């Protein structure tokens, strides 16, 4: 690795610590448990404790950005960029599904008493999931940190029928929660800032 690559100046951390740092970047915060990985990150000045929660320090955000960026020109980056560009198209569709799940025509809140209406939305989500799944699978096989997204999305999808919160609630690992984490991970992998993100036509 050349001296001018972003990862050349990364702090030396265990794999467990990097995994925790990545999870914090995607989630924003998580309960602090005092684990060895947490102590390692705190000792390196990469995380902060806020009440009962752990969050990234500015230095942690910078370190994560360098760690998460796939090597420009590599096979991994090329596939991640192609996946990201297709994901943007899927994302427009997914956000529309979430809006329709929460609001019925006429901007009326969906109280979920119209089972036929909800069923049609879930059918749309199933079709989207079927198209996006192979894309996510392929990236996970090449870049290990993406390997868990497919199973997490499937788990959330399977739970929606019994508990509607699993589609879009921020309080659990809902389909929306996992989808947004995947989005953030793709942005990190290809070095795109969300503010600069181009939207599909």
Last residue of a domain, one of 25, 40, 68: 68
Q: Is residue 201 part of a domain?
A: no
Q: d(Cα 75, Cα 14) in Å, to the nearest integer?
A: 25
Residues 85 and 157 in one domain: yes
120 band by pLDDT with thresholds 50, 70 and 90? very high
Angle of helix 149-160 relative to helix 175-190, nearest 10 degrees? 160
In this prediction the pTM is 0.90
Q: How do residues 71-89 score in pLDDT, each as one tens digit?
A: 999 999 999 999 999 999 9
Residues 101 and 177 in one domain: yes
Residues 23 and 96 in one domain: no
Confirm if 25 and 56 have CB atoms less than 8 A apart. Answer: yes
Dig out the tokens for 36 from the structure. Answer: 């060895």
Q: Is residue 124 part of a domain?
A: yes
Range of the domain at 45: 6-68
- DSSP annotation of 70 reads P
Asked whether residue 5 carries a pLDDT value surpassing 70, the answer given is no
Q: d(Cα 84, Cα 101) in Å, to the nearest integer?
A: 25
Q: Is residue 15 part of a domain?
A: yes
Confirm if 175 and 157 have CB atoms less than 8 A apart. Answer: yes
50 band by pLDDT with thresholds 50, 70 and 90? confident
Residues 11 and 83 in one domain: no
Confirm if 98 and 170 have CB atoms less than 8 A apart. Answer: no
Q: What is the pLDDT of residue 4?
A: 39
Higher pLDDT, 181 or 28: 181
Residues 10 and 59 in one domain: yes
Residues 89 and 186 in one domain: yes
Residues 61 and 79 in one domain: no
Run of H or E residues at 85: helix 75-102
Rounded to a whole number of angstroms, the CA Rg of the chain reads 19
Q: Tell me, rounded to whole angstroms, the distance of Cα 195 from its chain centroid.
A: 16
Residues 47 and 88 in one domain: no
């Amino acid at each position: 690795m050349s001296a001018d690559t972003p990862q050349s100046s990364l702090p030396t951390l265990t794999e467990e610590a990097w995994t925790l740092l990545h999870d914090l970047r995607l989630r924003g915060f998580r309960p602090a448990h005092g684990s060895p990985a947490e102590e390692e990150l705190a000792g390196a000045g990469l995380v902060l404790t806020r009440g009962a929660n752990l969050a990234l320090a500015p230095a942690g955000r910078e370190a994560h950005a360098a760690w998460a960026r796939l090597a420009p020109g590599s096979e991994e980056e090329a596939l991640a960029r192609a996946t990201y560009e297709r994901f943007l198209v899927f994302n427009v569709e997914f956000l529309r599904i979430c809006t329709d799940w929460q609001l019925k025509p006429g901007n009326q809140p969906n109280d979920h008493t119209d089972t036929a209406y909800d069923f049609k939305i879930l059918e749309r989500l199933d079709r989207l999931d079927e198209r996006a799944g192979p894309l996510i699978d392929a990236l996970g096989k090449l870049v290990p940190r993406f390997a868990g997204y497919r199973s997490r999305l499937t788990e959330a999808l399977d739970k929606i029928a019994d508990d509607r919160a699993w589609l879009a609630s921020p309080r659990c690992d809902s389909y929306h929660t996992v989808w947004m984490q995947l989005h953030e991970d793709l942005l990190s992998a290809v070095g795109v800032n969300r503010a600069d993100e181009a939207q599909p036509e």
